[in-house]
Structure 1
Amino acid sequence: MDGFYAYTYGSAAWLGLQALPLIVMPKMIITMLATDMHMTTDIEVYLSRSLGFALVLVALIVMFFTGSVPLSSSMGQPVSLEDSDPKAPYAVPIVTVTTLFHALSMIYCYMRWVNYRQMGYVLGAVGYGAMACVGLWCLIFGTSAKRLSKRTGADKRTAGFPFRNTMAYDKRKDRKMG
């Protein structure tokens, strides 16, 4: 499994993990995160469950529109991140939007932790931060096509600075053998 699939499955799992307690036991979550002890109102329960359902929806959108879950009966073709690929045309935009969502949520959770010092916000900030980092890694390294040399099969994007690759293809060595 490459980094792209790890991000999509991890992002969906992280959002689902947050959605489950919001849907199943919203009163407990409200009580844990409230600054003062009060009876939960019906609107708080409604908004908690609505947020849980929205998180499930975002997780499903990530899974289906990035091509991680195939929408056709053919399982043989891997998902490509090329813009011209008809199997997953929304893969890169969805990864971009969800990475931005995870980064903004991490900042929000961290600011809430700074103000209220509740452990739930730290856990949220760590989880969102990890997903934002993996998403950024996928956007930087996972969306560009490989440039492999036809002759050697090595990736042309690599450089020898600051360490030289002594095991790489050497023209002089190849001439001596041939």
Structure 2
Amino acid sequence: MDAFYAYTYGSAAWLGLQALPLIIMPKMIITMLATDLHMTTDVEVYFSRSLGFALVLLALIIMFFTGSVPLSSSISQPVSLEDSEPKAPYAVPIVRITMFFHALSMIYCYMRWVNYRQTGYVLGAVGYGAMACLGLWCLVFGTSAGRISKRTGADKRTAGFPFKNSSAYDKKKDRKMG
């Protein structure tokens, strides 16, 4: 499994992991993260469950619009496991947006941890930070097909500077072979 699909499945799992306790037991989550002891109100429970449902929706959007789960039951072109490029047209924008979401959520959780020193916030910051780093990895290294020479099979973007690279693309060698 390549990094792109690891990001989409991991991101959906991370959001689902957070949504489950917010939907099932919102009073416990509110009590754990509250700075003072008080009875939970119906509004707090409502917003907690609404956040849980929104996280589930975001996880489903990530899964469907990145092409990790097909949107139709018929497959018009065969799916190949060797392809590292996502086939869905919205894959790269969705990864970009969710990467920013994970980064902003990581900053928010970290700032809450700095102020309140609660373990839940540092765990959230670590999880969001890991997903943001993987999303950035996918955006930097997973969105271009590369420039592979048809004749030599070497990547044309590699260079021999500052050390000699024996697998670097050589235009002179490529012209001689052709």
Count of residue pairs the alignment pairs up? 169
Three-state SS of the structure 1 residue aligned to 2:52 is helix
**Which has the larger displacement, 154-163 or 31-40?**
154-163
Aligned to 1:18: 18
Three-state SS of the structure 2 residue aligned to 1:55 is helix
1:42-53 aligned at under 5 Å gives the runs: 42-53=42-53
Q: CA RMSD in A?
A: 2.1
CA distance in 1, matches of 2:3, 2:121: 27
Preserved contact between residue 103 and residue 132 of structure 2 (Cα < 8 Å): yes
1:79-112 deviation digits (Å, cap 9, x = unpaired): 7757xxxx51111111110000000000000000
Q: Taking structure 1 as the reference length, what is the TM-score of the superposition?
A: 0.87
1:121–1:21 distance in 2 versus 1, CA, 3 Å: same
1:25-174 aligned at under 5 Å gives the runs: 25-72=25-72, 73-74=74-75, 76-78=78-80, 81=85, 87-166=87-166
Q: Taking structure 2 as the reference length, what is the TM-score of the superposition?
A: 0.87
List runs of 5+ in structure 1 lacking aligned partners: none
List runs of 5+ in structure 2 lacking aligned partners: none
Preserved contact between residue 155 and residue 169 of structure 2 (Cα < 8 Å): no
Preserved contact between residue 22 and residue 29 of structure 1 (Cα < 8 Å): yes
1:9-34 deviation digits (Å, cap 9, x = unpaired): 00000000000000000000000000
1:169–1:159 distance in 2 versus 1, CA, 3 Å: closer
CA distance in 1, matches of 2:17, 2:156: 41
Preserved contact between residue 81 and residue 92 of structure 1 (Cα < 8 Å): no
Code of the residue aligned with 2:78 in structure 1: it is G
